[in-house]
Amino acid sequence: MNEKKGRRSLGCLVVKFGGSSLADGPRIARAIESVIKKAKQGARIVVVVSAMGRTTDGLIEAATQACMGKTPGDSLDDIMAMGERTSARIFSAGLRARGQKSLYLDPARPDWPIMTDDRFTNARPILNLCEGLIRKTIMPLIEDGAVVVVPGFIGKTEDGRVTTMGRGGSDITALILAKALAADQIIMVTDVEGIMTADPKVIKNSKKLDEITVDALVGLADSGTKFIHKKALRYKDSDTDIKVINCSSGDLDADGTLIHGSFPNEIIVDSYAEPAMAVTIVGERASESFETLKSILGEIEKADLSLLGMSINRNSVILYLPMRGTDDLLEALHSIVVRDERAIALAVRKNLAFIRVKGVGLEETPGVISRITSALNSAGINIYGIFTITSSVELFVDLNLKENAISLISEALEAYNEMSRQRNEEG
């Protein structure tokens, strides 16, 4: 039997059905049939279900109107959880009606395994506690041949109050279950074919990707394409792939998009190994000549260099490049400046360090950039360029001050990492 991180593999699958794939009776029936087919092949299966269609939105609206917009947080969570709890009951009943051994878990049970803090409507799981309870509660059931159905999105505090985990909560449930059970794969069943090359609502000819890394997926977070919620990615085990498939197939073996790898759940600080430089081209409306921009990028391609960053505004273009072997490149870029009437001059700042601060949801963490800049400012370290790109902040400082800058940034962000460690490790 295979070994995964020292734990015995159960041939286990965690299958998560989104609300769109459970929107009505026929869709639920199709989902149930796909699970039974896989169970008959010998897979041990845990199913995570979302609320049917837009049930949760309806519950929130009704509660808000009934309570005149003053619904207590814990009461609202208990109300919102009813959608997923109902889906779990229906799904498990459908499995049993077809002769498949099954049971559903509910937060009312004493052995409910998804434990969280008390941040109602946006609760955070207590991982060590969750994983121990999952193995104790669910592992014996799936080993006995039962398909266990778990309502996603829902947690419970240690004193027994129902919580919900906010947007992406069902994805979090699926990933925590998969990690604790050393699952072979997580299958996300939704209403799209997989991860697309662009949002199909915006780009007509978008194509399905066969595979993508978590690192690249985070970069698509704001594209509008439906996929696993970015917040949930911090809970993904690097050893367990996710497959995103369309519910219309009715087959868990259907082709979709495989998601590989993992993303750090803490903020990390690293740097580009080589020295970098900033090349600034200035001039009135310097950025408006597309032919000039094309020529600049063409010269960078000829030099076989990676473009580390680029800043464009009306009167300047700043290129951030590795410094290696760039004398010929600089001469070529200067020739472009001389030829273009919009450009006035070229300036070069060499011996820069390229530092990257990276973490899931970093751009949504209040005060991160302020902490970084304040820490460097207090030590008199100038920033020669800074970019916020999805879940990373990239910046350039004097090369001689690189190690000091990394140390200062790491120290400034340690409070965030400490909170993350407590959230993920404390029981």
Torsion-angle region of residue 344: left (phi > 0), alpha (psi -120 to 50) or beta? alpha
Q: Please state, in angstroms and as integers, the Cα–Cα distance from residue 355 to each residue in 251, 386, 403, 425, following that order.
A: 45, 10, 10, 28
pLDDT at 226: 54
Model confidence at 93, in pLDDT bands (50, 70, 90)? very high
pLDDT at 409: 93
pLDDT at 426: 43
Give the range with max mean pLDDT: 9-23, 194-208, 393-407: 393-407
Residue 133 parent element (H or E): helix 127-143
Take residue 165 and report the two structure tokens written for it. Answer: 């985990």
Take residue 107 and report the two structure tokens written for it. Answer: 């937060």
Cα(323)–Cα(346) distance, rounded to whole angstroms?
16
Q: What b/e sequence results for 46-82 when a residue is b if at least 16 CB atoms lie within 10 Å of its CB, and e otherwise?
A: bbbbbbbbebbeebbeebeeeeeeebeeeebbbbbbb
Q: Give 398's strand partners.
A: 352
pLDDT at 205: 87
268-425 topology per CATH: VC0802-like (3.30.2130)
Q: Is the dihedral of CA 162, 166, 167, 172 positive or negative?
A: negative
Number of residues assigned to the chain: 427
pLDDT at 369: 85
Q: 285 burial class (0-12, 13-18, 19+ CB within 10 angstroms)? A: exposed
Question: Is residue 5's pLDDT more than 50?
Answer: no
pLDDT digits (tens, 9 = 90+) for 155-199: 999 999 999 999 889 999 999 999 999 999 999 999 888 888 887
pLDDT at 43: 95
CB 198 within 8 A of CB 206: yes
pLDDT digits (tens, 9 = 90+) for 343-400: 889 999 999 999 999 876 665 667 788 889 999 999 999 999 998 876 788 999 999 9
Cα(151)–Cα(88) distance, rounded to whole angstroms?
5
Q: Which amino acid is present at 355?
A: I
Domain with CATH 3.40.1160.10 in the chain: 3-260
Question: Is residue 4's pLDDT more than 50?
Answer: no
pLDDT at 303: 93
E strands present in 83-161: 102-104, 147-151, 154-156
Mutual orientation of helices 55-66 and 73-97 as an angle, nearest 10°? 150
What percentage of the chain exceeds 90 in pLDDT?
Answer: 65
Find the radius of gyration of the CA atoms of the chain. 26
Cα(297)–Cα(291) distance, rounded to whole angstroms?
10
Question: Is residue 416's pLDDT more than 80?
Answer: no
pLDDT at 415: 66
pLDDT at 9: 42
Question: Is residue 240's pLDDT more than 70?
Answer: yes
The closest alpha carbon to 166, from 120, 129, 130, 126, belongs to 120
pLDDT at 421: 54
Looking at the chain, the number of H-run helices and the number of E-run strands are 10, 19
Model confidence at 234, in pLDDT bands (50, 70, 90)? confident
Question: Is residue 139's pLDDT more than 90?
Answer: yes
Question: Is residue 287's pLDDT more than 80?
Answer: no
CATH code linked to domain 3-260: 3.40.1160.10
pLDDT at 360: 64
Q: Is the dihedral of CA 97, 101, 107, 109 positive or negative?
A: positive
Q: Please state, in angstroms and as integers, the Cα–Cα distance from residue 196 to each residue in 37, 140, 193, 260, 360, following that order.
A: 27, 38, 8, 15, 21
Question: Is residue 333's pLDDT more than 90?
Answer: yes
pLDDT at 308: 92
Q: Give 259's strand partners.
A: 212, 242
pLDDT at 419: 56
Query: How many Cβ atoms from other residues are within 10 Å of residue 422's Cβ?
Result: 12
pLDDT at 362: 67
pLDDT digits (tens, 9 = 90+) for 38-87: 999 999 999 999 999 999 999 999 999 999 888 877 899 999 999 999 99
Cα(167)–Cα(171) distance, rounded to whole angstroms?
9
Domain with CATH 3.30.2130.10 in the chain: 268-425
